[in-house]
Structure 1
Amino acid sequence: MAPIQSESQFVTFALGEEIFAVPVEVVREILDHEEVFKIPNGPDYLMGLRDVRGQGVPTIDLRLKLGLPRTVPTPNTRVLVLDIPFEDRSLTLGMVADRVFEVTPFRRDQIEHAPEIGIAWNSDYIAGVVRRAEGFVVIIDLTRLLSSNDTALLSSRRAA
């Protein structure tokens, strides 16, 4: 039997002053920000489609999805291209971050459960938090962040 991993790698990034992380295995690549092809009548957080190596990838403003103010692009703004596994398929998605920091390991025993109160966003999207000297890192559960309505919409946009 394979041993349970005691450590996992995460990509850390910022939205404003807050630090977030996603598992490194879902990050295909990190790109500079560029304008996207706007999609009419999409939800406000759906910025549009971006060409990634010949594939039209729906790109979201994670700030809006989390209830924060809209992203204002700077020279540090990046797009994380993610391949998010779902039960029956994988969704490729671009996610805008104000700044990407590093790939860093977190030990399983460092990851605490999400607090239920005192945070500005819906804690359903939080897989856990890691306490560091400079504050907390919030680990995002991407499958919970994107509801079934979102995944259906984003999948159909990509197919269009």
Structure 2
Amino acid sequence: MSIIGQELQVVVFGLGEERFALPVTDVREILDHRPAFRMPDAPAWLLGLTDVRGTSVPMIDLRVRLGLGAAETTLATRVLVVETPVADAAPLVLGLVVDRVLDVSRFGADAVEPSPDLGGRWRSGHVEAILRREDGFVALLDLTRIFANDDADLFGGDVAPGTLAA
């Protein structure tokens, strides 16, 4: 289902100078940054596990996952606890480390545009839409696409590579 031309409410966050967003329906909660329990042989973007209300949640450095490079943790660094659908399984819960959370915004249907081929520092396939506002653009990320080609054993072993639900 395309979100182009639909009204959206999103959580807007920063990674470096760029602004990104996720639908509020995907974000469970926003937490202060916390250290993760590092996992052996994990990729650089998988920081480890963190406890969220009694559940072990994989913590992802979203900057590194998107190819933007790691950054130092600051007082503004936050963890977005998100859910993303997985084909034939329970939703995947992840903790996404972001530089800062900026706001929760509503975008009218006329402000939601298709994503052009961005090239540059992140894959345009990771961007579902571009959100236009007075002070510039916000890239709406598609978590399913970002994690679609990762090894099944990183996410519990029940998911074949490329089978996250759309």
TM-score normalised by structure 1 residue count: 0.88
- The Cα of 1:115 is off from its aligned counterpart by 1.5
Which residue identity does 1:93 align to in structure 2? L
- C-alpha distance 18-54 of structure 1, shift in aligned 2 (>3 A): same
- Residue number in structure 2 paired with 1:32: 32
Distance between the aligned counterparts of 2:6 and 2:124, measured in 1? 24
- C-alpha distance 117-57 of structure 1, shift in aligned 2 (>3 A): closer
* Structure 1 contact 13–102 (Cα < 8 Å) conserved: yes
- Residue number in structure 1 paired with 2:21: 21
Distance between the aligned counterparts of 2:19 and 2:100, measured in 1? 9
- C-alpha distance 46-53 of structure 1, shift in aligned 2 (>3 A): same
CA deviation profile, 1:67-118 (whole Å, cap 9, x unmatched): 1110310000000000112232210000001000111111232111112145
Q: Which moves more between the two structures, 85-94 or 15-24?
A: 85-94
Which residue identity does 2:130 align to in structure 1? V
- Residue number in structure 1 paired with 2:115: 114
Distance between the aligned counterparts of 2:63 and 2:156, measured in 1? 22
Distance between the aligned counterparts of 1:110 and 1:23, measured in 2? 14
| 2:11 is the alignment partner of 1:11 | yes
* Structure 2 contact 6–112 (Cα < 8 Å) conserved: no
| 2:104 is the alignment partner of 1:103 | yes
- Residue number in structure 2 paired with 1:91: 92
Distance between the aligned counterparts of 2:52 and 2:35, measured in 1? 12
- C-alpha distance 136-153 of structure 1, shift in aligned 2 (>3 A): farther
Which residue identity does 1:41 align to in structure 2? D
- Residue number in structure 1 paired with 2:125: 124
- C-alpha distance 6-112 of structure 1, shift in aligned 2 (>3 A): closer
**Aligned structure 1 segments of 4 or more residues deviating by more than 6 angstroms:** none
Which residue identity does 2:85 align to in structure 1? P
Q: Which moves more between the two structures, 7-16 or 114-123?
A: 114-123
Distance between the aligned counterparts of 1:117 and 1:134, measured in 2? 19
TM-score normalised by structure 2 residue count: 0.85
- Residue number in structure 2 paired with 1:59: 59
Distance between the aligned counterparts of 2:10 and 2:39, measured in 1? 31
Distance between the aligned counterparts of 2:43 and 2:70, measured in 1? 13
The percentage of counterpart residues that share the same residue type is: 48
Q: Aligned residue pairs: how many? A: 152
| 2:85 is the alignment partner of 1:75 | no
Gap regions ≥5 residues in structure 2: 158-166
